[in-house]
Amino acid sequence: MGGIDRVGIVGSGVMGSGIAEVCARAGLDTVVVASGPDSVEPGRRRLRKSLDHGLRKGRLTEAERDAVVERVIFTADLDELVDRQLVFEAVPEHEPTKTDLFALIDKIVTDPEAIFASNTSSIPIIRLARATTRPQQVVGVHFFSPVPVLPLAELIGSLLTGEETRARTEAFVTGTLGKQVIGSPDRAGFVVNALLIPYLLGAIRMVESGFAAAEVVDRGMVLGCSHPLGPLKLADLIGLDTIAAVARALYEEFKEPQYSPPPLLLRMVDGGLLGKKAGRGFYTYP
């Protein structure tokens, strides 16, 4: 069985463009499928902005940046995935959207050995796998934002994931993309978010109750616990809609109060105050 050198990513947002960047920087032929024609150019700009930031930080040269840009094709046509050997799904955290997408790419991708990997933060992989005719080739690969900087990926195999798929995916993520991998059982939230989300929700409840302002909570955790970022700023960075979606998935599976999304979080999402990507969350961004 040959190696993987043709990769597809569905989703051109922060996570999708980040996955595309690490794939292209590893020398892979990379296709990114945006949600529609209007999302193609913003996705391309997002990738270029990240590469320019890496250039300023000394993480790559101008020649390397230009080579990455050349390796990535942005499109709105799912049919461009037809010859891909590995497809990453990085669309919003909404189960029906993801299952519909997996059913579509299953029909489009012709390689009988192709791997379908979801970047979901919380949705059980087995539900996505069942939307395809090859559930043994569906796996979870949960990256962390910003993908080009953070070294970790969670690898999640469902009860239906084949051992060969698991092994090939781990070899690709570690050997080709240079990430470190931790394994997780196929349960909502996996390892990291099952620990992180209750912490973030607790911080939001503290603000909601009037016990402490967001700035106070964040200063306390940064200066008192040596966290690099306070929980409210981290929530803004992740996206409050994503936090709410993961919390809902965790609460649906475990029915534990610590996972229940606070009303303040839900109202902010309803109002479009999604954090840094929207220009306003617990903080305001330029």
Question: Would you please indicate which residues are annotated as catalytic (active-site) residues?
Answer: 121, 142, 154, 193
Q: Could you give the C-alpha distances from 198 to 93, 145, 193, 256, in angstroms and in order?
A: 18, 19, 8, 10
Alpha-carbon 19 to chain mean position: 8
- Whole-angstrom distance, CA of residue 36 vs CA of residue 240: 23
**Pairing label, strands 152-157, 138-143:** antiparallel
Query: Rg of the Cα trace of the chain?
Result: 19
Q: How many CA atoms lie within 13 A of 39 on its CB side?
A: 16
- Phi/psi for 217 (5° steps) reads -60, -45
**Nearest CA-CA partner of 259 in 197, 184, 193:** 197
Contact 7, 23 (CB under 8 A): yes
| Neighbouring residues of 29: CB distance < 8 A, sequence distance ≥ 6 | 5, 6, 7, 71
Round to whole Å and give the CA distance between 136 and 29.
Answer: 24
